[in-house]
Amino acid sequence: MALRNDPSLQAELISWCKEAGIDESHALMLINVPVHTDVAAIEEIMKAVKVLGRVRVQDTREGPTSCFLLVLCECKQAIDPTRLPPEVSPGERKEPWTVIAVRPGNEGAHVAHALKIQTRQSAIHLPQLRETERLPDKPEGKLRWIGPGDCVIPPRGEVQVICQMETDKPLRTEIFAVDTTEADSLPAGTYITPVVLPCSAVDGKNIQVLVHNETSKDISIPAGTVVANAYPTDTLAVPSGGSNSSKVIDPMLFDFSESSIPKAWELRLRQKLSTRGDVFFTGEWDVGLACGVEHHIRLTDTEPFRERSRRIAPVDIEDVRRHIKELLVAGIIKESRSPYASPIVIARKKSGAIRMCVDYRTLNAHTIPDQYTTPRIDDALDCLAGSKWFSVLDLRSGYYQIAMGEEDKEKTAFICPLGFFQFERMPQGITGAPATFQQLMEKAVGDMHLLQVIVYLDDIIVFGRTLEEHEERLLKVLDRLQECGLKVSIDKCQFCQSQVRYVGHIVSAAGVSPDPAKIEAVTRWKMATDLKTLRSFLGFCGFYRRFIKDYSAIVRPLTELTKGYPPTSGQNRKAGYAKKYYKETEPFGERWDDNCTAAFHNIIYSLTHAPVLAFADPTRPYVLHVDASLSGLGAMLNQEHPGGLRPVAYASQKLSASEQRYPIHQLEFLALKWAVVDKFHDYLYGAQFIVKTDNNPLTYVLSSAKLSAMGHRWLAALATYNFSLQYKPGSHNIDADVLSRYACESSGCSEWKEIPKSGVKAICQLAGVPDSESSSRLVDHLYVPPQSVPEAFACPTALSLGHMEQLTNEELRRAQEEDPVVGVVRREVESGKILTGARSSDVTVALLQRQGSKLIIQNQLLYQVSKGSCGREKKQLVLPEKYWSRVLCSLHDDSAHLGVERTTELLRDVSIGPKCPPA
C-alpha cells in the first residue's frame, strides 16, 4: 500500500469516512507499514496492517463499538498504551512510527496495544479515546546475547543475532512484539528492527534479532547484553479488502529452487514477497502503468506517411485476430483514424505462439533520436564488487507499461488486413523507446542505482554483501517499483542466489565472467589433429591477434607444426633440393606435445576473456559476421573499437537433419535469420548494425521464383531489425566461416561492398518474384532504384566465378586437344568443317557438334558464344572432362559455397563440356 503524499488516495479515504458518518479529522493517512513476520501464523496481523487504508473507522468516545480503530503516530518517548500521544507535525523526530490497535474488550472496555514498526508518515490527527482499562506495559521476556564472545556488527551493516529468550513463565499470547529495552542497553549507533513474531519463532530458547550499525566503524556487543524485550500483544481481526488493499498472492509462486538461503529465511521472505502482490504479474496482460511518464515522438518533418498493408498467411489469421483482440481488451491499442500507417510482420516464437511486430523503419527514419544512452555494462558491473547475494528482476512487457503521449499516439498507427489500430502504450521497435524506458527505470530506483541495484533496460539486479542487507534492498526495490506503477514477472525472477545470469554475464561473489553460452562455440573447440584443422584454428585466432599480448610467442609451438609440408600452389621448390615432406592429412601424433596443448588452451582462454572479449557498449556500432556451411552455422558479434573489431559474443550451431538438405544459399539465409533473431536479439533489436558475409544470403530471395512459407517467416522476422549488409566474394569472412565449419579457405583480404539500406529493405519486403525464365532482371521488379542492388545479384546469371584455381591457356589448350570429345570438335572448328562435316556416332561428340554455329576459337581456346537471358552476349569455355570436377569444387568453395544444383547452374553460365549439356 502506498499513500505517501498521494492526494487522490487521501481524498478517497476522506470521502469514504464522510459517507460512513465519520468526522473528517478522523480520516487517516496511512503509508508503507511493513510488518516483519516469520511464518504464516502471523497472517492475520499482516492482513490487518495491509488494509489500514480501508479499515472501518468509527468515533469510540461514545462507548464500545464492534469495529477496530488502527492509527499511526510518531513517538517522542516511550508510550503508555493507555494514553494517546498528542498531535505530531511531520519531520520533528525520526523515531519509529507506532501502530495503536484499539478494539472492544470484555464488558465494553477498550484495550490499546502499542507496536513500534519502522515506516514514514505525514501529520496525523488522532481522535480522543476513552481510557477504560490499563494493561501492564511490562515485558514478558528478555532477549540476551550470550556469546560466545562479543558480537561484532560491521560498519553500515546488519547482523542476525541469535539471542536466548529468558522468561519467568510461558508466553501467554500466540504472538509477541520484539522491541528495544527501556534502558536501551545497546551500544550507541546500533538499533534493532522491531518485529511481530509468533511463538513458533522461538527455537528452544533461541530467537533471531536483526541488529543494525549506523556508524562507520565496527561495534561490539558484549556477551550477556540484553538486546531486546518481548512484549505481549494480540492478533487483530479487521474487515478485509478494499480498493487500497495490497494484494496478497500465494507465497509458493516464488522460485527459490536455485537459492541456498536457510529454509526458515526462505519461508519468511516468501511471506514478505507475497504481501507485495501488486508489483507482480498475475495474468498474461496484467501490465502495469508507470506514473507520470509518457513517451513522445519528435519528427524531423510533419508530413504524414502511409505504407501499404502486407499479406498475412492464412494459417496465421486467427492467431493474429486473437492477439489483436487481447491487446484491445488490455487497453494497449485502440482503433485508429491516423494519417500515419506502418505495416505489421508476423513471426512464430519457439513455443509456436505468434510474435506480431510493427515495421517502424519509415517512422524511425523521420524521428529525431533521443541521445540518452544506457550505461556501459562493464562500468555498471564493476559496482557488484564485494557482493555475495544477488536477485534478478525482469519487467514483463516493460514497454507496454509506459503510456504514449496523447499527441503522438497516431504516429504509432499500424495497418493490417484485420483493421487499423494505434498504440496507447509505448510499442517496441520505435526510436527512443529504449532511452525512455531506461530513464524511467533509473528514476524508479532513484538513489539506489549503481549503489544497491543496477538497471539495464528491463533487467534489474539487486546485490548485497550480507543476506540481511540484500533482503532489505530487494524489498525496497520492489516497493519503489510498485510506487511507480511497474510490475515484474514472477517466472523470470531469480531470488537470493549466490550466482546469477545477467545481461550476458555470470555474476557471483568471485566476480563477473562471460556467459558460457556466449563463448561455447570457442571453448568447445577440439584440439587440432592434422594440418588442415590447425591452419583453420590459427586463421581464426589470427583475426584477433592484435588484442592478444605476445600472440606470436603463445602460438609458436603450433606454428612450428605447420612446417615440413610440401610448398603450396605457386611456390617453386629450390632446384636440386630434395626433402621428405609430411602429408597434409597425416595426423600429428607425437609431434603434438605438452607445449602444443598448453598453447592451444592459452589461446582459447585469451579469446574468451578481456581484453579480447569485449563488454557490449550500446554507444558503439555492432558488426555481425555470419557464415554457413554443410557442417553448420557460425556467427560472431563484434563492435568497433579504436584498435579494430573486438568480439562481444560467439555462436555456432550444428544443422538438423532437415536443414542438412537445404541448398547452401538457403543455409546462408538461415544463418542470417538465426544469428540476428535467435542468438543476438538482445543486442541487436532497436540498434543499427552491419552484417558482413562472404555470401549474400539475399541471393536466396532473388534467385527464387517464389518463397516458401518458411522463407516468408524468416523475412518477417528480419524485417523489424535495422541493418545494412556488406558482402565480398570468396572466403574472407574467416571468423564466422571457421565457426561454421572449422575450415579456413583463404587468408586474403579485399574491400567490402555495401548494399544500401533501400536495397536491403526492398529485398526483405519481397514476397515473390517473376518466373526465373523472364528476360527482365529481378531487381527491376523491386520498388527501389536498380543501383540499390549490386549488379551481381540483379540477375542470378551474373554471378562471378570468384577466385577459382587458375589454369593457364596453355594447360587448357593442351587439355582440349587431348580430350576425346572436345579435341574432335576443336579440330573441326579449326579446319572450318564443323558445319559441313558428318555427325559423329558418339552421342557426346554429336551433342557438341550441334552447337557448331556458336563455336569459335579465341586465344587458342574453344568457346561457345550465345545470347543470355538478359540479352547480353555470353561466352562459355568448352571445358575438358579432366578439369570438370576440379573446377566444380573450386567454384563451390570460392563462390559463396553454393549447393550442387546452383553450383552446376553457375558453371553452365561460364562453360560447357562433355558432362555439362548446354544451357
H or E stretch covering 416: strand 414-416
User: In this predicted structure, what is the pLDDT of residue 372?
Assistant: 79
Contacts for 707-714: CB closer than 8 Å, 24+ residues apart: 707/766, 707/767, 707/768, 709/313, 709/315, 711/669, 712/313, 712/767, 713/346, 713/347, 713/348, 714/669, 714/670, 714/673
Amino acid making up residue 57: V
User: In this predicted structure, what is the pLDDT of residue 736?
Assistant: 59
User: In this predicted structure, what is the pLDDT of residue 488?
Assistant: 93
Residues 6+ apart with CB under 8 A from 584: 530, 531, 532, 565, 566
681 vs 753: CA distance, rounded Å: 25
User: In this predicted structure, what is the pLDDT of residue 482?
Assistant: 92
Q: Which parts of 360-420 fold into alpha helices (H)? A: 361-365, 377-381
Instruction: Report the alpha-carbon angle 819-821-822, nearest 5.
Output: 70
911 vs 919: CA distance, rounded Å: 10
- Check: CB of residue 584 under 8 Å from CB of residue 632: no
β-strand pairing of 688-693 with 722-727: parallel
179 vs 164: CA distance, rounded Å: 15
CB-count burial class (<10 Å; 0-12, 13-18, 19+) for 74: buried
User: In this predicted structure, what is the pLDDT of residue 322?
Assistant: 92
812 vs 810: CA distance, rounded Å: 5
- Check: CB of residue 460 under 8 Å from CB of residue 376: no
Start-to-end CA distance of the chain, whole Å, equals: 78
519 vs 507: CA distance, rounded Å: 16
User: In this predicted structure, what is the pLDDT of residue 148?
Assistant: 86
User: In this predicted structure, what is the pLDDT of residue 686?
Assistant: 72
270 vs 263: CA distance, rounded Å: 10
Three-state DSSP state, 36: coil
Fold for domain 141-232? Deoxyuridine 5'-Triphosphate Nucleotidohydrolase; Chain A (2.70.40)
- Check: CB of residue 876 under 8 Å from CB of residue 864: yes
Angle between helices 467-483 and 263-274 (to 10 degrees): 10
User: In this predicted structure, what is the pLDDT of residue 429?
Assistant: 85
H or E stretch covering 830: helix 822-831
Three-state DSSP state, 532: helix
At the fourth CATH level, the homologous superfamily of domain 294-378+395-454 is HIV Type 1 Reverse Transcriptase, subunit A, domain 1 (3.10.10.10)
864 is written with which cell numbers? 561457345
65 vs 142: CA distance, rounded Å: 35
β-strand pairing of 622-629 with 459-464: unpaired
User: Domain extents for the chain?
Assistant: 7-117, 141-232, 294-378+395-454, 517-570+579-607, 622-791, 809-912
In DSSP notation, 430-459 reads -TTHHHHHHHHHHHHHGGGBTTTEEEETTE
136 vs 421: CA distance, rounded Å: 67
User: In this predicted structure, what is the pLDDT of residue 479?
Assistant: 93
Q: Indicate left, alpha or beta for 301 from its phi (over 0: left) and psi (-120 to 50: alpha).
A: beta
What are the angstrom distances between the C-alpha of 173 and each of 140, 233, 533, 832? Answer: 10, 7, 77, 121
Q: What is the DSSP letter of 12?
A: H
What are the angstrom distances between the C-alpha of 193 and each of 91, 162, 462, 538, 641? Answer: 20, 14, 21, 61, 50
Dump pLDDT digits (tens) for 799-855: 333 334 457 778 888 888 888 888 888 888 888 777 666 777 787 888 888 888 888
In DSSP notation, 728-781 reads -SSS--HHHHHHHHS----------EEE-HHHHHHHHH--B---TT-SS-GGGG
User: In this predicted structure, what is the pLDDT of residue 759?
Assistant: 56
What are the angstrom distances between the C-alpha of 266 and each of 271, 281, 334, 436, 760? Answer: 9, 21, 43, 35, 53
463 vs 451: CA distance, rounded Å: 9
Residue 624: strand pairing partners: 637, 691
CB-count burial class (<10 Å; 0-12, 13-18, 19+) for 79: middle
User: In this predicted structure, what is the pLDDT of residue 103?
Assistant: 34
User: In this predicted structure, what is the pLDDT of residue 81?
Assistant: 38
User: In this predicted structure, what is the pLDDT of residue 273?
Assistant: 92
Fold for domain 809-912? Endonuclease III; domain 1 (1.10.340)
Q: Starting at the earlier edge strand, list the strands of the sheet with 911-912.
A: 855-858, 861-867, 873-878, 911-912
User: In this predicted structure, what is the pLDDT of residue 12?
Assistant: 58
User: In this predicted structure, what is the pLDDT of residue 313?
Assistant: 83
In DSSP notation, 259-281 reads --S-HHHHHHHHHHHHTTGGGB-
Q: Which residue reads 500521544 in cell numbers?
A: 85
701 phi and psi, to 5 degrees? -70, -45
Omega of the bond leading into 148 within 30 degrees of 0 (cis): yes
Residue among 668, 710, 672 at smallest CA distance from 898 = 668
750 vs 297: CA distance, rounded Å: 41
Write out the CATH class of domain 622-791.
alpha beta
* Same topology between domain 294-378+395-454 and domain 622-791: no
Amino acid making up residue 552: S
Q: What residues in the chain have per-residue pLDDT under 50?
A: 1-5, 22-136, 235-244, 570, 575-578, 702-705, 730-731, 742-751, 765-784, 786, 791-805, 869-870, 895-897, 917-919
User: In this predicted structure, what is the pLDDT of residue 645?
Assistant: 79
Residues 6+ apart with CB under 8 A from 55: 48, 68, 69, 70, 238, 239
In DSSP notation, 141-163 reads EEEE---SSPEEEPTT-EEEEEE
Omega of the bond leading into 136 within 30 degrees of 0 (cis): no
For 877, half-sphere exposure in the C-beta direction (CA atoms, 13 angstrom radius) is 19
User: In this predicted structure, what is the pLDDT of residue 256?
Assistant: 92
473 vs 469: CA distance, rounded Å: 6
Amino acid making up residue 658: S
User: In this predicted structure, what is the pLDDT of residue 310?
Assistant: 87
